[in-house]
Amino acid sequence: MSILSRDRTASAAKAPARRKARRFRPSWPVSIALLLAVAGLAMAVAGHQIGGGAGSSDRALVDTAATTKVQGDVGDTLARIFTYTPDDTADASKAAADSLDGKAAADYRKLFGQVQQQAPTLQVGLSTRVVRLGVTSLAGNTATLLAFLDQTTTRKGKAGSVPAAAQLVVTARLTGGHWRITDLKAV
Protein backbone atom coordinates (compact mmCIF):
# COMPACT_ATOMS: atom_id res chain seq x y z
CA MET A 1 0.00 0.00 0.00
CA SER A 2 1.36 3.33 -0.97
CA ILE A 3 1.41 6.45 1.15
CA LEU A 4 -1.11 8.06 -1.14
CA SER A 5 -3.67 5.30 -0.73
CA ARG A 6 -3.21 5.34 3.09
CA ASP A 7 -4.06 9.07 3.13
CA ARG A 8 -7.18 8.44 1.04
CA THR A 9 -8.29 5.64 3.35
CA ALA A 10 -7.77 7.82 6.45
CA SER A 11 -9.66 10.72 4.80
CA ALA A 12 -12.48 8.43 3.81
CA ALA A 13 -12.75 7.13 7.38
CA LYS A 14 -12.90 10.69 8.80
CA ALA A 15 -15.52 11.91 6.29
CA PRO A 16 -18.53 10.02 7.80
CA ALA A 17 -17.57 11.26 11.27
CA ARG A 18 -17.55 14.84 10.00
CA ARG A 19 -20.88 14.33 8.26
CA LYS A 20 -22.40 12.92 11.45
CA ALA A 21 -21.14 15.87 13.51
CA ARG A 22 -22.62 18.29 11.01
CA ARG A 23 -25.92 16.44 10.99
CA PHE A 24 -26.51 17.13 14.74
CA ARG A 25 -25.56 20.80 14.66
CA PRO A 26 -28.66 22.99 14.40
CA SER A 27 -28.83 25.47 11.58
CA TRP A 28 -28.67 29.19 12.33
CA PRO A 29 -32.48 29.72 12.09
CA VAL A 30 -32.99 26.97 14.66
CA SER A 31 -30.28 28.49 16.88
CA ILE A 32 -31.93 31.91 16.74
CA ALA A 33 -35.36 30.43 17.51
CA LEU A 34 -33.89 28.57 20.48
CA LEU A 35 -32.17 31.74 21.69
CA LEU A 36 -35.43 33.72 21.40
CA ALA A 37 -37.34 31.03 23.30
CA VAL A 38 -34.80 31.11 26.16
CA ALA A 39 -34.88 34.92 26.23
CA GLY A 40 -38.70 34.89 26.30
CA LEU A 41 -38.68 32.41 29.16
CA ALA A 42 -36.19 34.55 31.09
CA MET A 43 -38.33 37.65 30.56
CA ALA A 44 -41.46 35.81 31.70
CA VAL A 45 -39.71 34.64 34.86
CA ALA A 46 -38.39 38.15 35.55
CA GLY A 47 -41.85 39.66 34.97
CA HIS A 48 -43.37 37.09 37.29
CA GLN A 49 -40.87 37.98 40.01
CA ILE A 50 -41.35 41.74 39.60
CA GLY A 51 -45.13 41.51 39.45
CA GLY A 52 -45.27 39.10 42.35
CA GLY A 53 -46.89 36.30 40.36
CA ALA A 54 -50.36 35.71 39.08
CA GLY A 55 -51.90 35.73 42.55
CA SER A 56 -50.20 38.92 43.71
CA SER A 57 -52.26 42.03 44.26
CA ASP A 58 -49.33 44.41 44.90
CA ARG A 59 -49.81 47.34 42.51
CA ALA A 60 -47.03 49.62 43.80
CA LEU A 61 -45.01 49.43 40.58
CA VAL A 62 -47.75 49.03 38.01
CA ASP A 63 -50.63 51.29 39.07
CA THR A 64 -49.19 54.79 38.70
CA ALA A 65 -52.50 56.56 39.37
CA ALA A 66 -53.03 54.79 42.71
CA THR A 67 -49.36 55.21 43.65
CA THR A 68 -49.48 58.95 42.88
CA LYS A 69 -52.72 59.34 44.86
CA VAL A 70 -51.36 57.62 48.00
CA GLN A 71 -48.10 59.59 47.78
CA GLY A 72 -50.00 62.87 47.48
CA ASP A 73 -52.41 62.18 50.34
CA VAL A 74 -49.76 60.78 52.71
CA GLY A 75 -47.15 63.43 51.84
CA ASP A 76 -49.63 66.24 52.46
CA THR A 77 -50.71 64.68 55.76
CA LEU A 78 -47.14 64.24 57.04
CA ALA A 79 -46.24 67.85 56.27
CA ARG A 80 -49.42 69.15 57.98
CA ILE A 81 -49.34 67.02 61.15
CA PHE A 82 -45.67 67.70 61.81
CA THR A 83 -45.77 71.47 61.24
CA TYR A 84 -46.82 73.91 63.96
CA THR A 85 -45.89 77.24 65.51
CA PRO A 86 -45.61 78.09 69.21
CA ASP A 87 -48.83 80.10 68.94
CA ASP A 88 -50.78 77.66 66.76
CA THR A 89 -50.79 73.90 67.23
CA ALA A 90 -54.50 73.63 66.34
CA ASP A 91 -53.91 73.25 62.58
CA ALA A 92 -51.62 70.26 63.10
CA SER A 93 -54.05 68.74 65.58
CA LYS A 94 -56.98 69.19 63.17
CA ALA A 95 -54.97 67.70 60.29
CA ALA A 96 -54.23 64.67 62.46
CA ALA A 97 -57.90 64.26 63.37
CA ASP A 98 -58.83 64.44 59.67
CA SER A 99 -56.09 62.09 58.40
CA LEU A 100 -55.02 59.60 61.10
CA ASP A 101 -56.72 56.42 62.27
CA GLY A 102 -56.00 53.52 64.60
CA LYS A 103 -52.59 53.24 66.22
CA ALA A 104 -51.24 56.29 64.39
CA ALA A 105 -54.05 58.47 65.77
CA ALA A 106 -53.60 57.17 69.34
CA ASP A 107 -49.81 57.58 69.29
CA TYR A 108 -50.06 61.06 67.77
CA ARG A 109 -52.60 62.28 70.35
CA LYS A 110 -50.37 61.05 73.16
CA LEU A 111 -47.20 62.69 71.77
CA PHE A 112 -48.85 65.84 70.44
CA GLY A 113 -50.63 66.46 73.74
CA GLN A 114 -47.20 67.08 75.25
CA VAL A 115 -46.21 69.33 72.34
CA GLN A 116 -49.37 71.42 72.74
CA GLN A 117 -48.58 71.97 76.42
CA GLN A 118 -44.90 72.84 75.95
CA ALA A 119 -44.76 74.70 72.61
CA PRO A 120 -46.26 77.98 73.91
CA THR A 121 -44.06 77.97 77.02
CA LEU A 122 -40.85 77.05 75.18
CA GLN A 123 -41.80 79.16 72.14
CA VAL A 124 -40.81 76.26 69.84
CA GLY A 125 -42.23 75.47 66.43
CA LEU A 126 -41.58 72.79 63.84
CA SER A 127 -41.66 72.93 60.05
CA THR A 128 -41.70 69.66 58.08
CA ARG A 129 -41.04 69.13 54.39
CA VAL A 130 -41.43 65.74 52.68
CA VAL A 131 -38.27 65.20 50.65
CA ARG A 132 -38.99 61.73 49.24
CA LEU A 133 -41.90 59.36 49.56
CA GLY A 134 -41.86 55.89 48.04
CA VAL A 135 -44.63 53.32 47.97
CA THR A 136 -43.14 49.95 48.94
CA SER A 137 -46.42 48.03 48.87
CA LEU A 138 -49.89 48.76 47.52
CA ALA A 139 -52.43 45.96 47.84
CA GLY A 140 -56.18 46.43 47.94
CA ASN A 141 -56.91 49.47 50.10
CA THR A 142 -53.66 49.28 52.13
CA ALA A 143 -50.31 50.87 51.31
CA THR A 144 -46.91 50.94 52.96
CA LEU A 145 -44.60 53.85 52.27
CA LEU A 146 -41.10 54.98 53.19
CA ALA A 147 -40.96 58.70 53.90
CA PHE A 148 -37.88 60.95 54.14
CA LEU A 149 -38.53 64.27 55.85
CA ASP A 150 -36.57 67.45 56.56
CA GLN A 151 -37.65 69.05 59.82
CA THR A 152 -36.60 72.49 61.01
CA THR A 153 -37.13 73.60 64.59
CA THR A 154 -37.75 77.30 65.21
CA ARG A 155 -37.70 79.26 68.41
CA LYS A 156 -39.60 82.51 68.59
CA GLY A 157 -37.24 85.44 68.08
CA LYS A 158 -34.36 83.23 66.80
CA ALA A 159 -33.29 81.91 63.43
CA GLY A 160 -34.39 78.40 62.47
CA SER A 161 -32.16 75.43 63.05
CA VAL A 162 -30.48 73.45 60.32
CA PRO A 163 -32.96 70.92 58.90
CA ALA A 164 -32.77 67.50 60.53
CA ALA A 165 -33.60 64.36 58.59
CA ALA A 166 -36.33 61.99 59.70
CA GLN A 167 -37.39 58.68 58.19
CA LEU A 168 -40.71 56.95 58.70
CA VAL A 169 -42.40 53.77 57.59
CA VAL A 170 -46.04 54.71 57.04
CA THR A 171 -49.03 52.42 56.69
CA ALA A 172 -52.13 53.96 55.11
CA ARG A 173 -55.65 52.76 54.32
CA LEU A 174 -57.93 54.08 51.57
CA THR A 175 -61.17 55.28 53.15
CA GLY A 176 -63.80 57.33 51.36
CA GLY A 177 -61.46 58.12 48.45
CA HIS A 178 -58.65 59.45 50.69
CA TRP A 179 -55.61 57.72 52.15
CA ARG A 180 -55.59 57.88 55.97
CA ILE A 181 -52.46 57.00 57.93
CA THR A 182 -52.99 54.06 60.31
CA ASP A 183 -49.43 53.52 61.56
CA LEU A 184 -46.19 55.50 61.80
CA LYS A 185 -42.82 53.98 62.71
CA ALA A 186 -39.53 55.85 62.93
CA VAL A 187 -36.69 54.17 61.06
Number of domains in the chain: 2
Taking the CB of residue 147, how many other CB atoms lie within 10 A of it? 21
Q: Which residues of 115-128 are buried (b: 16+ CB within 10 A; e: fewer)?
A: beeebeeeebbbbb
pLDDT in tens, 110-163: 999 999 999 999 999 999 999 999 999 999 999 999 999 999 998 877 776 778
Whether 148 maps to a domain, the answer reads yes
Q: What integer pLDDT is reported at residue 106 of this predicted model?
A: 97
Q: Tell me the CB-side half-sphere exposure of residue 127, using CA atoms within 13 A.
A: 9
Whether 59 maps to a domain, the answer reads no
Query: Residue 36's domain spans which residues?
Result: 3-51
Q: What is the CATH number of the domain that holds 166?
A: 3.10.450.50
Taking the CB of residue 27, how many other CB atoms lie within 10 A of it? 8
Note if the pTM is more than 0.75. Answer: no
Q: What integer pLDDT is reported at residue 45 of this predicted model?
A: 47
Is 91 found in the same domain as 38?
Answer: no
pLDDT in tens, 45-69: 444 444 444 446 788 889 999 999 9
Is 45 found in the same domain as 89?
Answer: no
Angstrom distance (rounded) from CA 92 to CA 166: 18
